[in-house]
Amino acid sequence: MKTKIGLVDDHQLFLKSLSLMLESFNVYEVILEASNGKDLQGKMKGKKILPEIVLLDVNMPVMNGIETAKWLTQNYPEIKIVALSMNADDNAIISMFRAGCCGYLLKDTHPNELEKALDEINKRGYYNADAGNINFRRLIMKADKNEDVRITPKEAIFLQHACSELTYKQIASEMNLSERTIDGYREALFKKFNVQSRVGLCLEALRKELVSL
């Protein structure tokens, strides 16, 4: 049985092209297309067959990706949400994950990578291309969620701030520490969590329930 997909994007040409691409994978069926969050809300109302995965544009008029992801998470928690964007900014990525997304893909992602991402989401429930290596696959497995990682109280505070939209400079100000000290915390936690980016760090912290949203 094919996995049912919903698409939300205000660029119609991209929307139609993506729909055709997904159908070509032969294991996905696009059952809903919407131009923004409000449009999605209207089309979801009373719908008997719902998407299992929604691919969601981040920047849209009327109701943007963050607002739409939050609404989906609150009203249809069983639906997996994948963010789509041209923006690779860490804050945008973290904001979408905090809103309930289980994956974040750039719109210039190769079709093979898109197919791989959707397969990962179907199998494991989570995907991020930035950390798409064996270490990330290990960390998203539920059995590894509580793997022991020892962090100091200061590192714990930094970790909570790192999973917000604050810049590193703002975190330094918030903690009354120098930027060099903050850099030290960041590098130490990257090593402890075996990740290479702020996004990877935040995802692992969330999966291990070391930070709260």
Contact status, residue 57 vs residue 9, Cβ threshold 8 Å: yes
pTM over cut 0.85: no
Residue 212 has a pLDDT of: 65
Contact status, residue 82 vs residue 54, Cβ threshold 8 Å: yes
Residue 123 has a pLDDT of: 79
The length of the chain is 213
Residue 201 has a pLDDT of: 85
Q: DSSP secondary-structure letter at 57?
A: E
3-class state of residue 85 by DSSP: strand
Bridge partners (DSSP) of residue 111 are: none
3-class state of residue 198 by DSSP: helix
Residue 55 has a pLDDT of: 94
Residue 63 has a pLDDT of: 92
Look at the domain 3-127 and name its fold: Rossmann fold (3.40.50)
Residue 110 has a pLDDT of: 87
* Amino acid present at 211: V
Domain boundaries along the sequence of the chain: 3-127, 144-207
Tell me the pLDDT of the chain (213 aa) as tens digits.
889 999 999 998 888 999 999 989 889 999 999 999 999 999 998 888 999 999 999 889 899 999 999 999 999 999 999 998 887 777 777 788 878 888 888 888 888 888 888 888 887 777 755 544 333 334 334 334 445 678 899 999 999 899 888 899 999 999 999 999 999 999 999 998 888 888 888 878 877 778 765
3-class state of residue 61 by DSSP: coil
Residue 139 has a pLDDT of: 39
CATH number 1.10.10.10 given to 144-207 = yes
